[in-house]
Structure 1
Amino acid sequence: MSNSRPTPPSATALHKVRAPVAQAQGLPNSHYTSPALFEEEAAALLKSTWAGLGVAADVPEPGDAKPVNFLGMPLLLLRDKAGVVRVFNNVCRHRGMILVEEPRKIEGALRCPYHSWCYATDGRLVTTPHVGGPGQNTHADIDRSTLGLVEVRSHIWRDVVFVNIDGTAPPFEEVHVDLITRWAALDQPQHHGGAESRFTLDVQTNWKLAVENYCESYHLPWVHPGLNSYSRLEDHYNITAPGHYSGQGTHVYRQLKAEDGTCFPDFADLPAFWDEGAEYVALYPNVLLGAQRDHSFAIVLEPVSCEQTREHVHLYYAAPETTPALRAQNAAQWKEVFEEDIFVVEGMQKGRHAPGFDGGRFSPAMDGPTHCFHDWVAARMMAHRAPVTPAAAE
């Protein structure tokens, strides 16, 4: 009699996801509808990688602070007095009180509203009023040097603030060297367009469906007829970098022009490809990036729950000053495009409650970027679930 145990159904399903695109099935329904799997994916896909948290433009000036709830964790995005953007746990080291409830500027020290422990904007604990008794602001057993704010590992690229919650990911520059190299010509200053160049979409869908829809062009003729009228499906190509990112590119990018014919200034010294080309990639796990000759955008997906996502959209330009009316028109056009996708991702989310749906199939010609993302999810989930053997633990 064999001592081997049958493979759990979940493992079998993930092996099917990792099959070649022509034979693969998509992720099972539970990966979109189960709160328990949402928590497991948070650990395997979001906390152990470089996940998008926000953008540096959220805290433009020294002392600016913005509280961010990420996967239930209270974090604080803060630009210190030296201009360095940092991410901290948004809690006092004394009794765990939330420090900042609303975005604001820290004029002096960051003061806890509970017992007035105060922190410098670089996280150092600087004052502890009455900690040793009335009028005694020190105590032999309270070592301020060890009680600064807990800093979360972070990295900024293309103004997106990425965080590695568990601290185990390799350096960002190593993980994403391929895309950094691919877009090296675009490694130049980007300027956020301001209030009219940011908006948030609340979508009733799992965050992964937002990634999957964004990284493929197959849906353009039916979901984005206006865009497809000049940048046609046949003008697009697939982009796949297994384990890191996937997306689409187009050979036909049309610049927005004002009535007098003016356009946004171009980024400097770009290769000829960018004259009419553009690329749109999903950088795993949750950041969607767009690059064109005269502007770019970043969408940071906030996974709220297994069936709710907030899409935080930010637009950037090559020059710090551009025509406000043209910026507003550009933001309105992109918002219209992204809103056209809402019924699709929400419809797929509803469809994931159908018990007979087996994860779906992929077009080998058209769905390579989507399968690339599914394969990454399945690979990380399988690695996360892999038992640690005694030998591996030594």
Structure 2
Amino acid sequence: MPDTATDFAAIRRPVAEARGLPNAHYTDPLVHAQERDRLFFDIWAGLAVAADVPATGDAVPVDFLGVPLLLIRDRSGQVRVFQNICRHRGMILVPEPRRIEGAIRCPYHSWCYGTDGRLVATPHVGGPGMNTHAAVDKATLGLIEVRTHVWRDVVWVNLSGTAPAFENTHADLIARWSDFDAPLLHGGADSRFTLTVRSNWKLAVENFCESYHLPWVHPGLNAYSRLEDHYNIEAPGLYSGQGSTLYRQIRGPAGGTFPDFPGLPDRWDTAAEYVAVYPNVLLGTHRDHAFAIVLQPLSQHETAEHVHLYYATAETDPSLRAANAAQWKTVFEEDIFVVEGMQAGRAAPGFDGGRFSPAMDGPTHCFHDWVAGRFAPA
């Protein structure tokens, strides 16, 4: 598919006139490969959450669009990301999640690295019994570190190393949700789950962005948080989504609720917001809990949705946490047939990208415009 401004002109028109992304952006492996650099590697993208490595030495390998990365919490407690390869011959260092008790040891020739990435041992590199060699400078052969930032427990990475600082890139959203600056505490094992959908990752973003589908896809949710209670959120080039003016806390059998995040102004008593931070992180915030969904593209037609729930305190009712997780899992599972149906529809050669409702689809069009802008030449 040619990368010219003309190809994307129709997508970048005002929402009332625009067409959506063409089929190739959901089905063509070549376009999928181009998206790695333009939509993921050159900007801040979501890799995982810090709660995936809760303890010192915890290490989790992550396939990031074909690039082997290692998420680790080092001895100082800092969350870091390295390329998951030995600097000697490129061997994968950590194939499965585990806790690093000593050093990260390459299983091929036993080169060893600290959890901070330093190369600390090179056995027999100078010959049998000779563990050093003048040509092997350990100080310059540490693990290749990936630029990382943690916000709302999401581990954001910038593989190219060229993006502006995260705080500058997302200053608008950080300010928008500044009322929620208190720490987010992961709910634990019962507050995480993964859904795998047979769909391109972008369709999961598009569906999350808008509330237009609520009456038909989420009738239970729409019964108390109606379509008319929602509003669009659009920050071109950065994020988009929806908000609700009628959020109702989940309650236990005796009427108990989760504690609120501290210091919230009254407007959050019945409000909630849900935004897709481009490219692949879906965030929700409420007075008493939050969630983060990191979308992991497995291929151009399959996506893993890693869902995590957070609270203001670690002392929450386990049964209420389980009920909250079950409720959200039901909502997100209800979306699966929609995104998979749209993916199947992208096999129709006559589909031209579709049209947008000017009133309801602004957030989705905002995302399409961002994708087109990353492809179209300046």
Instruction: Give 1:160's aligned residue.
Output: 154
State whether structure 2 residue 275 is matched by structure 1 residue 281. yes
Instruction: Give 1:106's aligned residue.
Output: 100
State whether structure 2 residue 203 is matched by structure 1 residue 209. yes
Structure 1 residue 44: Cα displacement: 0.6
Instruction: Give 1:311's aligned residue.
Output: 305
State whether structure 2 residue 223 is matched by structure 1 residue 229. yes
Structure 1 runs of 4+ off > 3 angstroms?
8-11
Q: Secondary structure at the match of 2:10?
A: helix
Structure 1 residue 10: Cα displacement: 5.8
1:216-255 matches, within 5 Å, as: 216-255=210-249
Q: Distance in 2 between matches of 1:213 and 1:130?
A: 55
Structure 1 residue 243: Cα displacement: 0.5
In structure 2, what residue type is equivalent to 1:343? F
Q: Secondary structure at the match of 1:17?
A: coil
In structure 2, what residue type is equivalent to 1:87? V
In structure 1, what residue type is equivalent to 2:57? G
After superposition, the CA RMSD in angstroms is 1.1
Q: Secondary structure at the match of 2:291?
A: strand
Structure 1 residue 272: Cα displacement: 1.1
Give the unaligned 5+ runs of structure 1: 1-7, 387-394
Taking structure 2 as the reference length, the TM-score comes to: 0.99
Q: Secondary structure at the match of 1:37?
A: helix
2:138 to 132, 144, 149: 144
Instruction: Give 1:190's aligned residue.
Output: 184
1:58-77 matches, within 5 Å, as: 58-77=52-71
Q: Distance in 1 between matches of 2:137 and 2:3?
A: 52
Give the unaligned 5+ runs of structure 2: none
In structure 2, what residue type is equivalent to 1:332? A
In structure 2, what residue type is equivalent to 1:324? P
Structure 1 residue 278: Cα displacement: 0.1
In structure 2, what residue type is equivalent to 1:190? L
State whether structure 2 residue 320 is matched by structure 1 residue 326. yes
1:176 to 152, 164, 170: 170
| TM-superposition CA deviations, 1:38-57 (whole Å, max 9, x none) | 00111110111100000000
| TM-superposition CA deviations, 1:257-308 (whole Å, max 9, x none) | 1001111110001011110000000000000000000000000000111111
Q: Secondary structure at the match of 1:27?
A: coil
- Assess if the C-alpha contact under 8 Å between 1:13 and 1:27 holds in 2: no
State whether structure 2 residue 147 is matched by structure 1 residue 117. no
| TM-superposition CA deviations, 1:74-112 (whole Å, max 9, x none) | 100000000000000001101111110111100011111
Q: Distance in 1 between matches of 2:226 and 2:159?
A: 40
In structure 2, what residue type is equivalent to 1:97? M
In structure 1, what residue type is equivalent to 2:147? R
State whether structure 2 residue 17 is matched by structure 1 residue 56. no
Taking structure 1 as the reference length, the TM-score comes to: 0.95
Q: Secondary structure at the match of 2:142?
A: coil
Q: Distance in 2 between matches of 1:13 and 1:204?
A: 27
In structure 2, what residue type is equivalent to 1:285? P
Q: Distance in 2 between matches of 1:323 and 1:100?
A: 36
Instruction: Give 1:291's aligned residue.
Output: 285
1:370-385 matches, within 5 Å, as: 370-383=364-377
In structure 1, what residue type is equivalent to 2:342? M
Structure 1 residue 11: Cα displacement: 3.8
Instruction: Give 1:135's aligned residue.
Output: 129
Q: Secondary structure at the match of 1:266?
A: coil
Q: Which moved more, 1:130-139 or 1:9-18?
A: 9-18
State whether structure 2 residue 300 is matched by structure 1 residue 344. no
State whether structure 2 residue 23 is matched by structure 1 residue 33. no
Q: Distance in 1 between matches of 2:376 and 2:6?
A: 10
- Assess if the C-alpha contact under 8 Å between 1:249 and 1:277 holds in 2: yes
| TM-superposition CA deviations, 1:357-376 (whole Å, max 9, x none) | 11000111000000000000
Q: Secondary structure at the match of 2:376?
A: helix
Q: Distance in 2 between matches of 1:150 and 1:177?
A: 28
Q: Distance in 1 between matches of 2:253 and 2:4?
A: 57
Q: Distance in 2 between matches of 1:92 and 1:21?
A: 48
- Assess if the C-alpha contact under 8 Å between 1:13 and 1:28 holds in 2: no
In structure 2, what residue type is equivalent to 1:155? H
* Aligned residues with identical type, % of pairs: 71
Q: Secondary structure at the match of 1:270?
A: coil
Q: Distance in 2 between matches of 1:256 and 1:34?
A: 42
Q: Distance in 2 between matches of 1:14 and 1:349?
A: 20
